[in-house]
Amino acid sequence: MLITLLIRFLLGGLLVSLFAILGDMLRPKSFAGIFGAAPSVGLVSLGLAFATKSGADAALDGRSMLVGAVALCTYCLLASYLIWRRRWGALAASGTGLAVWPAVAFGLWALALR
């Protein structure tokens, strides 16, 4: 379990960093932002699910990831609106979005997938 966690931490950190660096290098910013929603956590977690569990578990992960992606879209739209239109700081906007993400994710999960 500890070794799996360490692998998750290292690979997840690496992929998140790589996609973030790619986003830093690209212009315009709206295109670069796409890499802010890159499937870095998904690739590592699903890869480990295939390696240590089964395709059925990975499929369940993917199904819930659909709902998580809707919540992520909500987070991003909210953060964009708060920063761009309401001139909030990025930290405050991200923090607000992080409070909204679980509400949307778990709310939709309870409605559609439970």
Partner 1 sequence: MKNIALDIGKVRRLSWKAHLVRFTLGGLVTAGAGLIGAAYGPAVGGLFLAFPSISTASLSLIQRQAGKNAAGVDAWGAAIGSLGLLGFAAVDWVLAPLTSGWVTLLTASAVWLPLSFGLWLAIRTTRRHLNRRQRKPGR
Residues 34-93 binding partner 1 (CB under 8 A) are: 34-51, 53, 55-73, 75-77, 79-81, 83-85, 87, 89-91, 93
Binding of residue 111 to partner 1 (CB under 8 A): no
Size of the site for partner 1 (CB under 8 A): 87
Q: How far is CA 48 from CA 8, 12, 15, 16, 59, in A?
A: 8, 11, 14, 16, 13
Q: Do 70 and 108 form a contact (C-beta atoms < 8 A)? A: yes
In the complex, the smallest distance separating the C-beta of residue 26 from partner 1, rounded to whole angstroms, is 6
Query: Interface with partner 1 includes 101 (CB under 8 A)?
Result: yes
Instruction: By CB under 8 A, tell whether 21 contacts partner 1.
Output: yes
In this structure, what token pair is assigned to residue 80? 């964009």
**Dihedral pair phi/psi, residue 28, rounded to 5°:** -75, 170
| 71: CB partners within 8 A, 6+ apart | 100, 101, 102, 104, 105, 108
Residue 111 CB, shortest distance to partner 1, in Å, is: 13
- Asked if 107 touches partner 1 (CB under 8 A), the answer is no
**Binding of residue 110 to partner 1 (CB under 8 A):** no
Q: Is residue 17 close enough to count as binding partner 1 by CB under 8 A?
A: yes
For residue 29, the SS3 value is helix
Q: Is residue 96 a contact residue for partner 1 (CB under 8 A)?
A: no
